[in-house]
Chain A
Amino acid sequence: MKNTKNNRTIKYKLYSLGALLVTLLILGFLQVNSSQYSYQISILERSAIYAVVAVSMNLLTGFTGLFSLGQAGFMAIGAYIVAILTIPVEQRASVYYVNGISPAIANLQCPFWLALIIAGLVAAGIAALMGIPVLRLKSDYLAIATLGFSEIIRAVIAAPQLDRITNGSYGLKSIPGFPNLFVAFGLCALCILLMVLLINSSYGRVFKAIREDEIAAQAMGLNLFRYKQMAFIISSFFTGIGGGLLAMFMRSIDSKTFSINLTYDILLIVVLGGIGSITGSVLGAFLVTAGREWLRFFDNPLYIGGIQIPLFRSGFRMVVFSILLMVVVLFYSRGIMGNNEFSWAGLGRLVKGIPDRFTKKKQKGDNTL
């Protein structure tokens, strides 16, 4: 009995190793042919970055039960810090050509990995300050207050008083991108891995306890504010890094990038994937980002037999997309994964279950007939 169990874990480990190898091979292939597949690569990179932010949002919403809508604000902080710290010094004059650059930051430069860590730390620091008033609030008040903070951060970034640092409404350009695909995906994977480890640790259990019942969690000797603050800070740290990664991906940013709609996009990824499932958030990020591209044909005029179908024109894609999301929210509120995680055993059951499901459906059909 025990032996078969061991065998099985070894088998699953081998599967995981295999999956990792395949992923690396695909990445290597894309890297070699990067010019040919630049469109696909950009979709995958954006998905991976959104996955980081979605998992960090899930850490709060799904695991700690704190409904926060401040993601865009923390991403903005991260993105601007990475941009300011990594734009090559010699190009800064051309980036800040309208207002000039503040001498304090004119020669401040550091490697991108350090910039990303600083981005995360600053986002975490701001979250720590923000958490003091905000985390005392309950559910929807918390949502609206964090959303408000996110808007304040955006207003501050766009403020003319900071033009010489953030370049106001002109935004920041010439941000160096990722040196290669492995760095891009490696960083995203590392962030997600750290969050997975945290969620599966003793602290992750505490977060879940707070989600389940705050009063009972307190009765277990857990200081609510301390652990909520901790979840908020950690989530913001990774959201900040996610914002930094997004800046590196987009190469140019402005404050409009980080509007409420960015938060909503991330929220919809989390919901689609399943609130409380990391695998779900990652899957959701790839599906939503890629789905938007797949649905692109909705935006182009469609001719069937020489007749133009009237619905298909610019903007239709987003309508279809939002209807799909509403369908998920209303009819599949558990999302793709519910609150389950991926496991090889689960996948095995799913694959084996497919034929059963067909036969079952048939039986059901027979019964009703």
Chain B
Amino acid sequence: MSFTTFLQQCLTGISLGGAYALIAIGYTLVYGILRLINFAHGDIFMMAGYFMIFAMASLPWYIAIVVVLIVTVLLGISIEHVAYRPLRNAPRMSVMISAIGVSYLLQNLATYLFTALPKGYPEIPFLKKIFQIGGLSASFVTFLTPVITLIVVYALITLIHKTKIGMAMRAVSKDYDTAALMGIKINRVITFTFAVGSLLAAIGSILYFTDRMTVFPFSGSLPGLKCFVAAVFGGIGSIPGAVIGGFILGLGETALVAMGYSTFSDAFTFVLLIVILLIKPTGLFGEKTTDKV
């Protein structure tokens, strides 16, 4: 492998990792607050892909993007409202099953509305422009993804540490009941969290699908699980952790594909998961929690 191909692969990996990181943040935020694996998150990401197809059919790209972001956020919020909120005091297993149910519903709904056949993802002209730097050539989106990821992460960390709603989010994630006693409107915080998570999923979806060019009803389920693993790897609840997890996953997968083990690139994710759970169950940056006896 020449040095240029190596760099080329790294670039692909970082770009994929950036998209993964954006989705992983959604998992980490929701898990941090509700202790729930939002199994439907990957499917929200998939639906965002379809929204883009329809938005681009009749609107210019810059308006289409805004529309997609808004609609996806609304979808995320309404899922929380309908499927998770009624189960606030139910056992954790019920909520998880509800999340699986939503994921199942979204996949079936997408199959029904858009058929199971892959649909072509619209091209946003400037994102597909080929750039050349030295021997490297890649479309603009490949360079853009990691940059956007870092900007978003910076904005999010600022939000969480500098704003009032961010403080509320931190409080709720530390202790649900006490936060409620302190007058924090839990439901509002949770809605906000889902909105942020879905927004990032929508951004991730645009970056991810522009590179892949097709969307089908199950195109969210595997990336979704992978990004959850990325979040666990980085330490669930930790945003930098999710980002690092996403990049490691993207790079590792690209490396496996480059080496010719593409069938194992999906399995790699889960090997990574099991290894981290064995060595450091709380992930890279996770906090330890203990049960009181």
Contact = CB atoms under 8 A, between A and B. Distances in A.
Are the chains A and B members of one assembly? yes
Interface stretch (B134-142, B162-170, B264-272): B264-272
Interface in B121-147: none
Interface string B104-117: 11001101110110
B104 A264 contact: yes
Interface in B80-105: 82-83, 86-87, 90, 92-94, 96-98, 100-105
A144 B97 CA distance: 13
Interface residues of A, number: 44
A134 B275 CA distance: 10
B267 A137 contact: no
Contacts of B104: 261, 264, 268, 322, 325
A318 to B, nearest CB: 4
A143 B37 CA distance: 10
B277 A141 contact: yes
Contacts of A323: 105
A147 interface: yes
Nearest to A132: B278
A144 B232 CA distance: 10
Given A268-B101, A329-B97, A140 B92 contact: yes
Contacts of A156: 267
B172 interface: no
A155 B108 contact: no
B277 A326 contact: no
Nearest to A215: B293
B43 to A, nearest CB: 11
Contact of B274 (A145, A268, A271): A145
Bin chain B's interface residue count.
35 or more
A260 interface: yes
A140 B271 CA distance: 17
A18 interface: no
A141 B277 CA distance: 8
Contact of A139 (B93, B109, B115): B93
A156 B267 CA distance: 8
B97 A319 contact: no
Most buried by A among B96, B112, B225, B273: B112
Nearest to A157: B263
A344 interface: no
A286 interface: no
B221 interface: yes
Contact of A325 (B36, B82, B93, B101): B101
A266 B94 CA distance: 15
A179 interface: no
Nearest to A137: B277
A333 interface: yes
Given A67-B96, A133-B277, A152-B270, A260 B221 contact: yes
Nearest to B264: A155
Interface in B18-45: 35-37
A319 B108 contact: yes
Interface in A315-329: 315-316, 318-319, 321-323, 325-326, 329
Contacts of B97: 267, 271, 329
A315 B111 CA distance: 6
B221 A275 contact: no
A315 B232 contact: no
B273 A322 contact: no
B112 A316 contact: yes
Contacts of B35: 140
Nearest to A298: B112
A264 B225 CA distance: 14
B171 interface: no
Contacts of A325: 101, 104-105
B225 A147 contact: yes
A261 B100 CA distance: 10
Interface of A: 61, 67, 133-134, 136-137, 139-141, 143-145, 147-149, 151-152, 155-156, 158-160, 215, 260-261, 264, 267-268, 271, 275, 313-316, 318-319, 321-323, 325-326, 329-330, 333
5 contacts: A141-B232, A144-B229, A151-B266, A264-B104, A315-B116
Given A325-B105, A326-B105, 10 more contacts: A144-B273, A145-B277, A271-B97, A314-B115, A315-B115, A315-B116, A316-B112, A319-B109, A322-B104, A326-B98
